[in-house]
Amino acid sequence: MSPRPRRARAGRRHASALALLGLLLAALAAVPSAATPRSPAGPWPAPVTVSAAPGSTTALPGYAIRSTAEVPDPAAVVSSPGYPARGWHRAGPRSTVLAALVADGTYPDPFYSTDQQRIPRHPFAVPWWYRSDFTLTDTRARTYLEFSGVVSAADVYVNGRQAASATTVAGSYTHHELDITPLVRAGANAVAFRIRPNDPRKHLTIGWLDWLQPPPDANMGIVRDVLLRRRGPVSLHDAHVVTRLSVPSLTSAELTVKARVRNDSEKTATVSVTAAITGDSDGSDGSDGSDGSDTNGGRDGRIVVREDVTLRARETRTLVFDPDRHPLLRLHRPRVWWPAGMGPQSLYGLSVTATVAGRPADSVRQDFGIRDVKAPLNPAGARQYAVNGRPLLIRGAGWSADELLRWDTAATEDRLRQALDAGLNTLRLEGHIEPDEFFDLADRHGILTLPGWECCTKWEGPVNPTGTGEPWDTADRLTARASMAAEAARLRGHPSVLSFLIGSDYAPDTQTERAYLDALRAADWPTPVIPAASATTTALSGPSGMRMTGPYDWVPPSYWYDKREGGATGFNSETSAGPSIPTLDTLRRTLSPAELETLWTQPSAPQYHRSPSRTFNTLKLYNEALTRRYGAPRGLTDYVAKAQLSQYESVRAQFEAYARNATDSTAPSTGVVYWMFNSGWTSLHWQLVDRYLDQGGAYYGAKKANEPLHVQYSYDDRTVTVVNRRPAAVSGLTARISLFTTDGASRYDRTVRGLRVGGGGAKSTVLTLPPYAGGPSPTYLARLLLTDAAGREVSRNVYWLSSRPDVLDYGATDWYHTPVTAHADLTGLNSLPAATVTATARTSHHAGGTSTTTVTLRNTGRGTAPSLLTDVHLVDGRDKPVLPVRWSDNQISLWPGEQAVLTGTYRTADLHGALPRIRVSGWNTPTTVR
């Protein structure tokens, strides 16, 4: 999170000779190590055998790690093959120190209660050793050690000799390729990293600001793969494709392939370099403007171009395969990559190989997509994105990495699928730029990404007077430039990457901005570069076209409709109504019984699972609003139920307001990033889905608002509007709008037929509702139903409203919220009669290990009361939620006689052999399990 920069922030984001070496090793074999932490379970894995093939890469499978305070041996000994790492901890191939110590049980799970406070900080104030053994079957090919992701810096040793120092290996995003050919030998080898402690105030690495309680080790470790790369006498570097797509026709594209070729030998070499481009079978249906094929060899056609080059000893040359010299690189009817919902996610593959005298020397492969991204400023000065010539409203949310930076491909894919299911099209990564697999998944699933540097830490040290980062020296500037160059080269080929934000709360100074832009330009960066996520203008990049006005704490739903502060106009890069109380299931997995009691009985008490910031460490604003609008909680269950209602209406209104205003003629909304999508740990705020991927009111409010074809109510002018995000226009729609008192009595009922709405985010106004429903209570309900030309229900949307509006005091706005001087009265919901809902379910199993449970809900009550926000959870035999589940719809409201059919899809194995059961609950629906 990064609040607006112009206002103050409280507590903010924050060689020995071989004979001697042999004697030392023999002595160590007989004497136990200095200190003996918990030993790993089972035997250590055998050293990885490195492929001998030129062009191959082998990842180190893991490490033995230990504090340098407990290892008296010199680096030359620790990094030698056969070193007896008895009593060391085992770490995976991507692991922080704390992640390894939690995994082996040395420290408790930091995600429960205040257990993280039980983990001391002093063990992480000194460097830690990471060592790994590997085997080379031969040394005819050259060997390189290639890596990034060191937090924060490291001295690197191979077979007892230093390969690099921490002055070079500094910064978690810098990329390093060390030629260790002179250091390795056939047979057993070892590599050791002496990892320096991390401090995000002092190092260009990773920090957590106010998102969560930062881990005690500050994420020191190695969090990306370390590769052993084999090459022949000639090596390939920086291979990539520059694409140019004809827009708006999309009928042709030009590809330019570039690669640096380096002669690593001591004699002249003639190299044959071949570039091959292949396409995948993506099931294109022509919705991208093509017929699903290109004319350069068909769907699975292969384009092959080749050039020979003679290089002097140690010479490097850049080869450029361009369409003028290689006409095959001009594609007709290319298969274009689209964001999800706009077309297929077509990808091509690039393979570049180098041979010398007919023998392989090196090879690289990567995927890329053909797409065009533009982001000009609209007349109001807001950044307006267009992909392949089609403008789109950015419906985004902030992405959080795991607090311990653990990588799990399956878990990440689950989260990306949930983001798409909630109707999001973009995820913003402020720092914590995830590994390659994240962007591979984003490419495949069609979700856009907005990576960028982090606010308030060392990254903004030279420019952010309210942050904690220290000023830069010359070495920092070199690290920053190297970081930008490395990330640009890594991310440029991913079609999911929409932009790079070189600043967050503050834009970089001119010297830094020039260095960043030069690095991006040198990497052939293909998409717009944004100077900051906040409203700023720089000398080199001009206006950002974005704003960072918040809010970050509770505001009422009506707030989002005003075109001021964080309301629906322009591009708001991070904003939400703050707290997001998870489901009762998740709360019981997160908090102790005493903390659960405090949660609802002490509204102003500090909450460890909210934030380390004194601005956000309580739920005071949120709890006060909850009590005044819905009534004081009567217990934990009641508190959580009211929280789900509040979060549903707030998140829904945020996305609906931005969608409604996207096509306004003046100051339209162009993008909104909900702060945030997920949490890196167990949290009470800033999340649409919780740590365990359970879904509550916040998630379903977003999912409802972002329906492809959607009917919605506007809090500011009481209009009912249909928004169509589908590409094509829709006609023959019917909207029925009804108002009810809380006892179910009808006060208004209108049907409007023959509605038509254009595609691509267009809207159509249906009617304007009267000021209120009437009756003795100020609380009333609005039901909006939209059916298509065949009479099928395509959108159902229910609001709980008040004739007494929330009154905002904009004059007292600060950087994180706007106060409310009067609250809507929704207490009438407490008298809503109990509803009777029946549920029947059937389950079908699919190939690939998934199942779908279909649930039919019916309101069988004899009265007039609806079942408000009825929730369905899939549970196992012990009433534990099966997670994740993707529901077609959920938390729905039904009037007597109405029914709805919901489907939930999940991994069959997540039931652990139990039969699926259905738990039905709701605001006024008793909980039942079937």
Reference 223, options 37, 407, 54; nearest CA is 407
What's the token pair of residue 544? Answer: 């950002």
288 and 341 in contact (C-beta within 8 Å)?
Answer: no
Q: What is the DSSP letter of 383?
A: B
Instruction: Write out the H or E segment, with its range, that includes residue 413.
Output: helix 409-421
What's the Cα-to-Cα distance from 797 to each of 595, 714, 738, 780, rounded to whole Å?
Answer: 35, 12, 11, 14
Selection from 690, 688, 791, 782 nearest residue 733 by Cα:
791
CA 544/CA 375 separation, integer angstroms? 10
- Please report how the helices 636-660 and 593-601 are oriented relative to each other, as an axis angle in degrees rounded to 10: 60
Tell me which residue has tokens 């180190």.
60
Whole-number Å distance between alpha carbons of 739 and 745: 9
Distances (CA, A) of 465 to 5, 7, 13, 157, 199: 9, 10, 12, 39, 18
Q: What is the signed CA dihedral for 361, 366, 369, 374, rounded to 10 degrees?
A: -90
Q: How far is CA 372 from CA 290, 322, 449, 497, 768, in A?
A: 15, 19, 15, 11, 40
What lies within 8 Å, CB to CB, of 438 at 6+ separation is: 412
Burial of 730 (0-12, 13-18, 19+ CB in 10 A): buried
The Cα–Cα gap between 814 and 429 comes to 25
How, if at all, do strands 669-674 and 570-575 pair? parallel
Question: What backbone phi and psi angles, to 5 degrees, belong to 503?
Answer: -140, 160
Q: Are 905 and 850 in contact (CB under 8 A)?
A: yes
Reading the block at residue 102, the tokens are 């939690």
Contact between 456 and 12 (Cβ < 8 Å)? yes
**Cα separation, 434 vs 62, whole angstroms:** 19
Q: Pick from 155, 172, 164: which is nearest to 96 by CA?
A: 172
Residue positions annotated with a catalytic role:
505, 574
Q: Would you state the structure tokens that stand for residue 491, as one six-digit string? A: 């991310």
Burial (0-12, 13-18, 19+ Cβ within 10 Å), 713: buried
Q: Report the DSSP beta bridge partners of residue 390.
A: 387
- What is the spatial distance between Cα 556 and Cα 575, in angstroms, rounded to a whole number? 13
The two tokens of residue 213 are: 């309680």
> What is d(CA 918, CA 387) in angstroms, rounded to the nearest whole number?
41
Buried b (16+ CB within 10 A) or exposed e, 500-528: bbbbbbbbbeeebbebbbebbeebbbbbb
Which residues, listed in sequence order, are joined to residue 50 by a DSSP beta bridge? 136
CA distances from 204 to 226, 289, 508, 782 (A): 20, 44, 14, 51
For residue 440, which phi and psi values (nearest 5 degrees)? -60, -45
* CA 209 from centroid of its chain's CA atoms: 17
In this structure, are residues 83 and 64 in contact, taking their beta carbons and an 8 Å threshold? no
